[in-house]
Amino acid sequence: MIYVVGIGPGKKELMTFETVNALNESEVIVGYKTYIDLIKEFIKDKEVVQNGMRGEIQRCKDAIKKAKEGKKVAVISSGDSGIYGMAGLILELITKENLDIEIKIVPGVTASIGAAAVLGAPIMHDFCHISLSDLLTPWDVIQKRLKLAAEADFVICLYNPRSKGRKDHLQKAFEIIGEFKSGDIPVGIVKNVGREGEFKQIVKFKDIDFETVDMTTIVIIGNKSTYVYEDKMITPRGYVL
């Protein structure tokens, strides 16, 4: 039995009951060590299998091995397990090896939803998620999606916006998006949603300082109706008030 669990942005309050139940019922907890640290209180003396960044495939293989031994295993992802999380990888491995292991996907609050709640209501209308990481996706696919999403005037949530190894992606993304979106459109930046050091900033598209953005940050770019009131970023749904 493998639970593929989304733990939400970080704090217990944003976890679901199903997530906590799945962690409690599991004998082995498998995850990226940063996320293991976030859920320490639910682990106690359970067996833990953890490793570092880019160790996703090994982690999932380890989880499957433990499940084959008859153990109940929880594989954790931050946010939702099904959005750039471990759900796909676990199911791909199960598919490939044609394994008979029960899998339960346990959803969670993804980073865009957590960040949006901190900012106000920026994703109240049609929106998309685009990851700027080209580790697994060709950069030309990412560029095409950025262009078409901007042309469609989606609210755009950027995941993995900027890392040490990919410092220029965010600026390049803004150049592509800037062809279709006005420089005055609000952009929300939230770092460490629901974790220690939570940081929030709302700026105009043209005024963003890319240096404030790192891998723990979600960037939400408004649509042409998005506005700012005091410290809130709001995308109207279209009601006539």
Sites for a copy of itself among residues 1-60 (CB under 8 A): 8, 12-18, 21, 56-57
> Quick one: 83 or 213, whose CB is closer to a copy of itself?
83
- Residues near 151 by beta carbon (within 8 Å), at least 6 away in sequence: 180
> Quick one: 209 or 238, whose CB is closer to a copy of itself?
238
- Secondary structure (DSSP) of 50-87: EE-TT-HHHHHHHHHHHHHTT--EEEEESB-TTSSSSH
The single residue among 41, 196, 197, 239 that binds a copy of itself, judged by CB under 8 A, is 239
> Quick one: 82 or 216, whose CB is closer to a copy of itself?
82
Closest separation between CB of residue 140 and a copy of itself, Å? Answer: 12
Task: From 61, 67, 17, 66, select the one nearest 42 (Cα to Cα).
Answer: 17
The angle subtended at Cα 31 by Cα 3 and Cα 93, nearest 5°, is 60
Question: Is 241 an interacting residue with respect to a copy of itself (CB under 8 A)?
Answer: yes
Closest separation between CB of residue 66 and a copy of itself, Å? Answer: 18
- Secondary structure (DSSP) of 91-156: HHHHHHHT----EEEE----HHHHHHHHHEETTSSSEEEEE---SSS-HHHHHHHHHHHHHTT-EE
Closest separation between CB of residue 211 and a copy of itself, Å? Answer: 25
Return the residues of window 119-178 that contact a copy of itself according to CB under 8 A: 120-131, 135-137, 141-142, 144-145, 148-149, 151-154
> Quick one: 36 or 83, whose CB is closer to a copy of itself?
83
Return the residues of window 64-103 that contact a copy of itself according to CB under 8 A: 80-85, 87-96, 103
